[in-house]
Structure 1
Amino acid sequence: MLEPAARYTGYTAYDYLEAGKDYRAFRYAQQIGRVPAYAGLELGDAQKERAQRLLREETVISLHEHVQVFPEDMGELRDHIRQGREPTGYEGLSRSGLTAVFDNGMDGTCCISSDAGWKYQDVLFDLGVRMADLAHQDFVIKAETVKDIQRAAETGRVAHVFALEAATMIENEVDRLDVLYGFGVRQMGIAYSEANMLGSGLKERADGGLTYLGERAVERMNKLGIAIDISHSGDRTCVDVITHSKVPVFITHAGARGLWPTNRMKTDETIIECAKRGGVIGIEAAPHTTISPQHPKHSLESVMDHFQYCVDLVGLDHVSFGPDTLFGDHVGLHDAFSSNLSLGQAHADVEYEKQPYVDGVENPAEAFSNIIGWLVKHDYSDDEIRAVVGGNTMRVLEEVWV
């Protein structure tokens, strides 16, 4: 983890408002030091210096995070979410080394008006409030183009890209994609575990593939310049999307089912088809996802087992990272929203030892420091590290974004 970026001035979310008057204040989780620092990397002095240099100097992009800060008491979580004012973790981001982050804040837990989530009005409200906060500071910038990411790299800022894990909220109105694009959304999933009008989610018993409406939506996303994510889609729907899209697609946060046999992981076929058409898989680290037989207690080592598996399967040019972390108790979030997030179905038929957090990849502030440290320890070259922590993602964005 780095020292705070020089550009960061100490701004905290909604500083321009008065807590207790303009909005309800909660006690939030620590962004730094909530859990012990990872002790599993033993690097020599030269390795440490090299890892820190790469984190400071290279374009580092997370394909999938939730950079909000969550309440310290997760029993207050629903009350916190219902007021529609989730705070961005500026302090943590200032120490992350990230150049750009795809923030998927508005997913199935966006329950401002409904516990079921995914309501169009709620998503727009959440997006607008988050953008209002971003506009009141100068360290994290709203990013909509490749040039925005390049500007962030040149000026010591973090480029924040709004993303959505599914297109469920468009219902049967393809034109809503244009509205969401106008609000700044530059990456979007098809379905989040549960099937919707576009296609099937990964928890369903049967996968009917991409619907005709789904085909229209994919075509519109291509025309608009919205990168498509198939992380939570069913197997057939994934391949249909890859085939129907005229540009490469992302698997922003997943791992390999060949290593860990749950629906949440992707089949070799899906990963290969994604890569054959120029796409990239981001290796994730949300609790109890990328577990491996070699490292059954979910940790950095488990995550990197999936990384190595995917590199061996499709080559280094098609693998990146979407750790899927947040500031706060991620396991507590899963416990509170297990039905919304379809965790039971996604992890059916496997047994694992529940962990309180993913050691080494617990939050956005530490994730890439430890990932790059692991890559240095395992003798990846600077060019190889440069590719997997940002270069591969930039290559796809240059083709997909308009």
Structure 2
Amino acid sequence: MSEESAQEFAVPFRETAYDGYRSFEYLKPGHDYEVFEFAKEFGRVPLYDMGLDEEQDIRTRRLIDDNIIISLHDHPNVFPADMSQVHDYIRTGREHTSYEGLSRSGMTAVFDNMMDGTACVTSKFGWKWDDIVYDLGMRLSDAAHQKYARIAYNVDDIIEAKENSQIAIVLSLEAATPIENEVDRLDILYGLGVRQIGIAYSESNTLGSGLKEARDGGLTVFGRRAVERMNALGIAIDVSHSGDQTCLDTFEHSSKPVFITHAGARSVWETARMKPDSVLKGCAETGGVIGLEAAPHTSLSHDHPEHSIESVMDHFVYCVELMGIDHVAFGPDTLYGDHVGLHTEFSRHLGLAQATSGPSFPRVEYVAGLENPTENFYNIVGWLVKHGFSDEDIVKVAGGNIMRVLNQVW
């Protein structure tokens, strides 16, 4: 499919306030910052055909147009066409946001996880305080020069974004690693606009254990202090990359519901990246919500081992049956560019093996149907329409459940 055809398809579901702004256009390219050839934001891969008939397509678009649609986890940035350049790109500190792509997505809000552990501006291994603040400052400076995207500081910002045909960006971090042993840094991050933070990434930190660890020591004494501070500040807590016991401890210690922003069910695909039933039930029992993950080669299933939207929806169906419809949403964890190539480059950059324990599976070049933030929710909602879910349930999982939690947390 040509780029022009893709652009014709990927039109806004309704007219938005996007005015054509491109990231950092207030500066002079090549003079103020290094220029890279970027991946196509539209038409990089063939569009996925949901096979909807006309009535289903109209219903899908109506549901998206009329309701608050939220991605609980994404990286809506444009990456170099040549992923071997990704480290040079990141070291500039300027990841470009795809404002146009977001304007065509139908989303009302996106939890933008920025560079996260890839924030290797000054350090090879990322997660350094200075790099995270550098990333935040650059992102806020860029956002301040345009009018379509607004930073979400509270629930009203999301509601007003819908009313004003904007998109609300929720600044988020996948781990609290950069705060080290200084709980007051959470206040600083809150002051800089961050409204959601994970406990630990795959490696353990001062708060708790990451999911890579062979032994999970659970939430630390400092981790409990950090949870209390995040509750007091109004920062949503995420345990997607935390070890199982750390997840359970966080649910127990938090006075507010906790998110699993991007994961799936270990009963569907047996890897540490997916969550066991005990964690999924614990999340639901304390009022939390899981966002279904779609990063390449994560949320596979035995019925659909070649990763696609069908694999992800196998996790969705399982989680709905186990946790209840009120506790499930979507955090696709997608970006604009070669996501598989990004994983390969960072595995090489950090000296990590790509392979993870678990069932064998065929590798894919991209996740069909959930390849980028622009196409995700048309396909998600379309799948739900096609499979007979009610309007009420679709509204819940596409954003309503997240809004319920945010009203309690923020």
Distance in 1, Cα, partners of 2:332 & 2:237:
17
Q: Is the 8 A contact 1:262 1:346 kept in 2?
A: no
Q: Which residue of 1 aligns with 2:27?
A: 17
Letter in 1 for 2:19: T
Q: Which residue of 2 aligns with 1:181?
A: 190
Distance in 2, Cα, partners of 1:42 & 1:28:
30
Q: Which residue of 2 aligns with 1:28?
A: 38
SS at match of 1:108: helix
Q: Which residue of 1 aligns with 2:174?
A: 165
Question: Which structure 2 residues correspond to residues 117-196 of structure 1 after superposition, within 5 A?
Answer: 117-196=126-205
Q: Is the 8 A contact 2:125 2:350 kept in 1?
A: no
SS at match of 1:383: helix
The match for 1:321 among 317, 326, 330 is 330
Deviation at 1:69, TM superposition (A): 0.5
Q: Is the 8 A contact 1:167 1:190 kept in 2?
A: yes
The match for 1:62 among 36, 54, 71 is 71
Question: Which structure 2 residues correspond to residues 191-340 of structure 1 after superposition, within 5 A?
Answer: 191-338=200-347
Deviation at 1:90, TM superposition (A): 0.7
Distance in 2, Cα, partners of 1:342 & 1:210:
28
Q: Which residue of 2 aligns with 1:107?
A: 116
Q: Any stretches of 5+ residues in structure 2 without a counterpart? A: 1-8
Q: Is the 8 A contact 1:284 1:322 kept in 2?
A: yes
Q: Which residue of 2 aligns with 1:3?
A: 11
Q: Is the 8 A contact 2:216 2:246 kept in 1?
A: yes
Letter in 2 for 1:282: G
Distance in 2, Cα, partners of 1:347 & 1:214:
27
SS at match of 1:328: coil
Distance in 2, Cα, partners of 1:345 & 1:316:
34
Q: Is the 8 A contact 1:103 1:161 kept in 2?
A: yes
Q: Give the total of aligned pairs.
A: 400
Distance in 2, Cα, partners of 1:103 & 1:346:
27
Deviation at 1:209, TM superposition (A): 0.4
SS at match of 2:111: strand
Letter in 1 for 2:44: R
Distance in 2, Cα, partners of 1:395 & 1:342:
41
Q: Is the 8 A contact 2:174 2:197 kept in 1?
A: yes
SS at match of 1:228: strand
SS at match of 1:281: strand
Letter in 1 for 2:11: E
SS at match of 2:159: helix
Structure 1 pair 246/342, CA: closer, same or farther in 2 (3 Å)? farther
Letter in 2 for 1:260: W
Distance in 2, Cα, partners of 1:339 & 1:269:
34
Structure 1 residue runs of 4 or more that deviate by more than 4 Å after TM superposition: 339-346
Deviation at 1:338, TM superposition (A): 2.1
Distance in 2, Cα, partners of 1:217 & 1:395:
23
Deviation at 1:240, TM superposition (A): 0.3
Letter in 1 for 2:335: L
Letter in 1 for 2:81: E
Deviation at 1:341, TM superposition (A): 8.3
Distance in 1, Cα, partners of 2:75 & 2:115:
9
Deviation at 1:49, TM superposition (A): 0.5
The match for 1:347 among 353, 356, 370 is 356
Distance in 2, Cα, partners of 1:103 & 1:66:
5
Deviation at 1:276, TM superposition (A): 0.2
Q: Is the 8 A contact 1:203 1:346 kept in 2?
A: no
Deviation at 1:54, TM superposition (A): 1.0
Distance in 2, Cα, partners of 1:141 & 1:229:
22
Deviation per CA, 1:188-215: give whole Å up to 9, x if none: 0010000011100000110000000000
TM-score using structure 2 length: 0.96
Q: Is the 8 A contact 2:296 2:339 kept in 1?
A: yes
Q: Percent identity?
A: 60
Q: Is the 8 A contact 1:253 1:323 kept in 2?
A: yes
Q: Is the 8 A contact 1:193 1:341 kept in 2?
A: no
Deviation at 1:84, TM superposition (A): 0.2
SS at match of 1:337: helix
SS at match of 1:338: helix
Letter in 2 for 1:278: G
Deviation at 1:106, TM superposition (A): 2.8
Distance in 2, Cα, partners of 1:175 & 1:231:
23
Deviation at 1:6, TM superposition (A): 3.2
SS at match of 2:171: strand
Q: Is the 8 A contact 1:108 1:341 kept in 2?
A: no
